[in-house]
Amino acid sequence: MSAWIPWGGFAATVAGVAFLWHGAHAPAPTEKSAPTSVELAEAAGLRPTELVVDFRDDISEQALAANGYLEIPVGDMSAQDRLYRIDFDDADQAASALAKLSHDPDVESVDYDSLATIPPDEQAEEATATAGSMEAECGAKTGEAGTDFPAAEAEFPNDACFKYQWHLRQVGMPEAWKRGTGAGVVVAVIDTGVTQVGDLAGTKFVPGYNFIANNTNAADDHGHGTHVAGTIAESTNNRIGVAGVAYGATIMPIKVLSAKGSGSMAGIAQGIRWAADHGAGVINMSLGGPFAVGAIASAVKYAHGKGVVIVAAAGNDGHGRVGYPARYPGVIAVAATQFDESTTFYSNWGPQIDIAAPGGNVRVDQNGDGKPDGVLQHTIVPGDIGRTDYLWFMGTSMASPHVAGVAALVMGAGVRRPEAVEEILLGTARKPKGRTAAAGARIDDHYGAGIVDAGAALRKARDGRGAGELGLGLAASLLGLALLRRRGMAVAPLGFGFVAALLAGSSGLFFLPALTPESWTHAHALAGALSGGITDLSAGSLSATLLYSALAPVGLIVLLYGVRRLRPALAGFGFGVAGALLFTAIGHTVDLRFVPDALEPFWLAGQAALAGFFAAACLRKT
């Protein structure tokens, strides 16, 4: 019976880690129904003579030419993703073609074309928000932006107008910045484009695309997209302006909306695919419409399958119907709150709402700071794009990038699988003031799981993951020691080298923030960034697949086993990596290329066993 004790302890540790990570009552993502025939019929009233047809990507040119229709490319990417528009002389012809193409095996989806827009009321509020410049007040506090502060100054962040960003405090900043900044994560802003205004000068950018003009110039000619990008990753702690949620993340500008704030759903579908194909880890869509378009649903599924977290605004109609694309499965639908944490008068609601975040309300000043309670960011001025200013906007468009930014923080902490990121966001969302709900239950159709909490999300993603990995590494070590001793084998002394290597191997130096006092703000933030370690690699790459294997510990053991004094450290590193691999299998936190989803846990568990076997070999006293 005693022979099973080590295995029983190991199994109990595995079960405990699984319970603590996933939780007994973690809120589940909402089930989102497919569009109904009634909704599709409603869409026909918008452009009854235009169809958007998403053909199979592998359809041949011959089959495309033989169907009897004249396909018009949606953009330069149409030849790659086989997304086309077909125009008809009248609605009857279009309806007949819709019925025929919907049964064509070469067609993935066919719909009437429709427009996605920035909500009209949101644009009206943006126009009024330009009265009274904030450029002077939000300029550098003293001296030039970017110069060093005196050593005695401990304020973080030091941005001149951070004091007006109540919305960042509502989501748990700046506590979360002590644990991570989103470094290494690319966030695609699918919107009116993004212009790198003054307070985005320190923010990283990668090339994007303009699906309105079909070129690579994705600059903003409206103001909406730049404001959204600022909430996600505004340059922070640069002594000017304001701050952003994941200021270490990289922005990918994707322009799908015109200067008037509208764009074709077909173009948006291409933008989603383009972002997924060019390295985006998170997509934010602060746009939408009331109608379903199959090409968007297909694009969302495609991007989600490539490991992209997709976040979208619920809509600003103030009624119980969530808009598209937020309503699609695989998209995190975001409702809007104001300063007092109540949901706003304009925010859409319904069972498809996943989470809430600050969207603001420029019509009130609930915090009494003399400024409207909107979301404040630096952007170009709508209607006068030659100027820039710090403007308060409101809308679910402003709520969505808060969640996208927190998703980037979580991904930067090493959690790369979209389902795992969503589980963390929903599981750590907090209850708003005056509201209660059973543990793990949705609050209601206005809040979903609650208000996104960046600090809690990062604590779980980084510290919780690190503790789980370390616990499993220790359990693997004890199991290895017990099995060696049961076989009558002498065990070499362990010592500090074993413990240090176990810590490093198990958790990517996750423990550094715990050793750095939170009062040392900058050092603590640096330690948090380092704690991501090698887990910041993209899970979609071959290098990441090799990383989540026994290659590193086995390779080191093979190379250095002959150095006797290093064997305890090699054993500790091997057991630590085994714990990290086991945790990844339990938490299902990453997608691995070249490994089918169903086999990923078995791959990771097998690699953990291999790492543990080689580690145990190093403990034998020979």
User: Would you give the distance in Å from CA 257 to the centre of its chain?
Assistant: 22
pLDDT at 93 exceeding the cut of 60: yes
pTM confidence score: 0.86
- State percent of the chain over pLDDT 90: 54
pLDDT in tens, 518-566: 444 444 444 444 444 444 444 455 556 677 888 889 999 999 998 999 9
DSSP state, 518? Answer: T
Measured on CA atoms in the order 481, 483, 485, 489, is the torsion positive or negative?
A: negative
Res 131: pLDDT: 46
pLDDT at 289 exceeding the cut of 90: no
Among residues 161, 173, 154, 130, which one has the least CA distance to residue 242?
161
Q: Which amino acid is at 389?
A: D
Higher pLDDT, 230 or 483: 230
CA 197 → CA 182, 241, 287, 518, 619, distances in Å? 20, 11, 22, 32, 58
Res 15: pLDDT: 81
pLDDT band at 27 (very low <50, low <70, confident <90, very high): low
Higher pLDDT, 527 or 360: 360
Q: What does the alpha-carbon distance between residue 255 and residue 217 come to, in Å, rounded to a whole number?
A: 9
pLDDT at 150 exceeding the cut of 90: no
pLDDT at 575 exceeding the cut of 70: yes
Res 492: pLDDT: 73
Tokens of 421: 């990121």
Higher pLDDT, 274 or 23: 274
Q: What does the alpha-carbon distance between residue 186 and residue 585 come to, in Å, rounded to a whole number?
A: 25
Average pLDDT of the residues in 369-389: 93
Instruction: Give all strands of the β-sheet with 50-55 in edge-to-edge order.
Output: 72-73, 83-87, 50-55, 107-112
Average pLDDT of the residues in 491-504: 84
* 47-56, 131-140, 290-299, 410-419: range with lowest mean pLDDT: 131-140
Higher pLDDT, 78 or 189: 189
Among residues 188, 244, 283, which one has the least CA distance to residue 454?
244
Asked if 272 and 295 touch (Cβ cutoff 8 Å), the reply is: no
Q: What does the alpha-carbon distance between residue 580 and residue 572 come to, in Å, rounded to a whole number?
A: 12
Q: What does the alpha-carbon distance between residue 394 and residue 251 come to, in Å, rounded to a whole number?
A: 21
Res 371: pLDDT: 94
Q: What does the alpha-carbon distance between residue 303 and residue 300 come to, in Å, rounded to a whole number?
A: 5
* 24-33, 77-86, 609-618: range with lowest mean pLDDT: 24-33
Q: What does the alpha-carbon distance between residue 535 and residue 412 come to, in Å, rounded to a whole number?
A: 8
Higher pLDDT, 223 or 37: 223
pLDDT at 475 exceeding the cut of 70: yes
Q: Which amino acid is at 255?
A: K
* Those residues with Cβ within 8 angstroms of residue 248's Cβ, 6 or more apart along the chain or in another chain: 180, 181, 182, 183, 184, 233, 412, 529
* 92-101, 391-400, 500-509, 559-568: range with lowest mean pLDDT: 500-509
pLDDT at 491 exceeding the cut of 80: no
pLDDT at 319 exceeding the cut of 60: yes
pLDDT at 287 exceeding the cut of 90: yes
Res 122: pLDDT: 67
**H or E stretch covering 295:** helix 294-305
Phi then psi dihedrals of residue 580, to 5 deg: -65, -40
Q: What does the alpha-carbon distance between residue 473 and residue 152 come to, in Å, rounded to a whole number?
A: 41
- State percent of the chain over pLDDT 70: 83
pLDDT band at 143 (very low <50, low <70, confident <90, very high): very low
Q: What does the alpha-carbon distance between residue 86 and residue 213 come to, in Å, rounded to a whole number?
A: 19
Higher pLDDT, 158 or 130: 158
pLDDT in tens, 412-438: 998 989 999 999 999 999 999 877 776
Instruction: Determine the length of the chain.
Output: 622
Average pLDDT of the residues in 581-606: 86
* 9-13, 323-327, 349-353: range with lowest mean pLDDT: 9-13
Average pLDDT of the residues in 358-373: 94
Higher pLDDT, 126 or 445: 445
pLDDT at 439 exceeding the cut of 90: no
Structural domains of the chain in order of their starting residue, each with its CATH number = 47-113 (3.30.70.330), 117-143+156-434 (3.40.50.200), 458-619 (no CATH)
Buried b (16+ CB within 10 A) or exposed e, 541-562: eeebbebbbbebbbebbeeeee
pLDDT at 321 exceeding the cut of 80: yes
Average pLDDT of the residues in 199-207: 97
Asked if 578 and 609 touch (Cβ cutoff 8 Å), the reply is: yes
Q: Which amino acid is at 218?
A: A
Question: Which residues are known catalytic residues?
Answer: 191, 224, 397
Asked if 400 and 287 touch (Cβ cutoff 8 Å), the reply is: no
Higher pLDDT, 587 or 276: 276
Res 204: pLDDT: 97
CA 305 → CA 288, 407, 613, distances in Å? 22, 17, 34
pLDDT at 44 exceeding the cut of 60: no
Asked if 243 and 173 touch (Cβ cutoff 8 Å), the reply is: yes
Q: What does the alpha-carbon distance between residue 18 and residue 589 come to, in Å, rounded to a whole number?
A: 12
HSE (side-chain half, CA atoms, 13 Å) at 580 = 32
Buried b (16+ CB within 10 A) or exposed e, 37-69: eebbebbbeebbbbbbbbbeeebeeeeeeebeb
Asked if 521 and 178 touch (Cβ cutoff 8 Å), the reply is: yes
Mean pLDDT of the chain: 84
Among residues 567, 417, 577, which one has the least CA distance to residue 498?
567
pLDDT band at 120 (very low <50, low <70, confident <90, very high): low
Res 26: pLDDT: 58
pLDDT band at 356 (very low <50, low <70, confident <90, very high): very high
**H or E stretch covering 50:** strand 50-55
- For the purposes of burial, counting CB atoms within 10 Å of the CB of 20, is it exposed (0-12), middle (13-18) or buried (19 or more)? middle
DSSP per-residue letters across 147-206: PPPPTT---SS--TTGGG-HHHHHTTTTGGGGT---TT-EEEEEES-----GGGTTSEE-
Res 31: pLDDT: 64
Higher pLDDT, 550 or 204: 204
CA angle 225, 386, 363 (to 5 degrees): 55
Measured on CA atoms in the order 556, 562, 563, 564, is the torsion positive or negative?
A: positive
Tokens of 566: 């290093």
Tokens of 460: 């779980």
Asked if 344 and 336 touch (Cβ cutoff 8 Å), the reply is: yes
3 state SS for 368-416: CCCCCECEEEEEEECCEEEEEEEEEECCHHHHHHHHHHHHHHHHHCCCC
Q: What does the alpha-carbon distance between residue 559 and residue 160 come to, in Å, rounded to a whole number?
A: 54
Average pLDDT of the residues in 159-182: 95
* 139-143, 569-573, 598-602: range with lowest mean pLDDT: 139-143
**H or E stretch covering 305:** helix 294-305
The count of other CB atoms within 10 Å of the CB of residue 199 is 29
Asked if 471 and 17 touch (Cβ cutoff 8 Å), the reply is: yes
* 12-16, 65-69, 134-138, 325-329: range with lowest mean pLDDT: 12-16
* Those residues with Cβ within 8 angstroms of residue 120's Cβ, 6 or more apart along the chain or in another chain: none
pLDDT band at 407 (very low <50, low <70, confident <90, very high): very high
